[in-house]
Amino acid sequence: MNVNNFISFLVPKDKKFYPLFERAAANLKECANNLYLAVTASSPDRRIEYMRKVAQLEHTGDEIAHEVFSELGKNFITPFDREDIHRLTSHMDDVLDYIHGASKRMELYRITNFSPDIVKLAELIQTGSNELYIAVMELRNLKNLRRITDACVRINSIENHADDIFDKAVANLFETEKNAIELIKMKEILQALETATDKCEDCANVLESIIIKSA
């Protein structure tokens, strides 16, 4: 290994990791937006189009995550704690997985009428993903820590709101839905949506950990 390569190996890969984080957050934001568009679409064709886009973006997210993990394996020095890099990347990928899981179930179960609770949970995922994008975009410099912490607080609030909606929606399902198969279908979709907000909160917790360690 020549001197230039050795120095390159030691220098923190700001030009590698931060662009990957930003791509992951932007991809997640777009995926969440397509989920919301799917549950509010006015036509079946447009709904399927948005759901297929969700699937494509979930695949893109997997590729980005693999790139991050590959860089972790190749680089000795990283911009911040290696475990936090792994956790943040994994949790963002988890959000994508649950968004896709909900969307896939909607398509497979041929759901055409979405309850206000499903629409609201999709909206909260969209909002939480946007807040996550705001926070991740500030990681590169860590100059505006308040912007990151404020976004994290809002994500935590979103998750609490989603919990309330999920609990009431499931209680209502058991009270009003007499078809056991339909009940199971809707509960699975609601659970996937609510879990996506949990994973957004997990991302926020990692971001707060990064801030504390960087202070």
Using alpha carbons, list the distances in angstroms from residue 61 to 2, 54, 95, 146, 171.
35, 10, 10, 27, 34
Is the pLDDT confidence value at 12 over 60? no
Is the pLDDT confidence value at 213 over 90? no
Reported as a single tens digit per residue, the pLDDT across 70-111 is 988 887 788 888 999 999 999 999 999 999 999 999 999 999
Residue range 3-214, CATH number? 1.20.58.220
Q: For residue 7, name the pLDDT band (cuts at 50, 70, 90).
A: very low
The mean per-residue pLDDT over the stretch 107-131 comes to: 96
Buried-state track 11-39, b at ≥16 Cβ within 10 A, e below 16: eebeebbbebbbbbbebbbbbbbbbbbbb
What is the spatial distance between Cα 165 and Cα 118, in angstroms, rounded to a whole number? Answer: 9
Q: Where does residue 97 rank: exposed (0-12), middle (13-18), buried (19+ CB within 10 A)? A: middle
Give the range among 26-30, 111-115, 138-142 with minimum mean pLDDT. 138-142
pTM of the full predicted structure? 0.91
* Mean pLDDT value across the chain: 92
Q: So what's the pLDDT on residue 128?
A: 98
| Percent of the chain residues past pLDDT 70, beyond the cut | 93
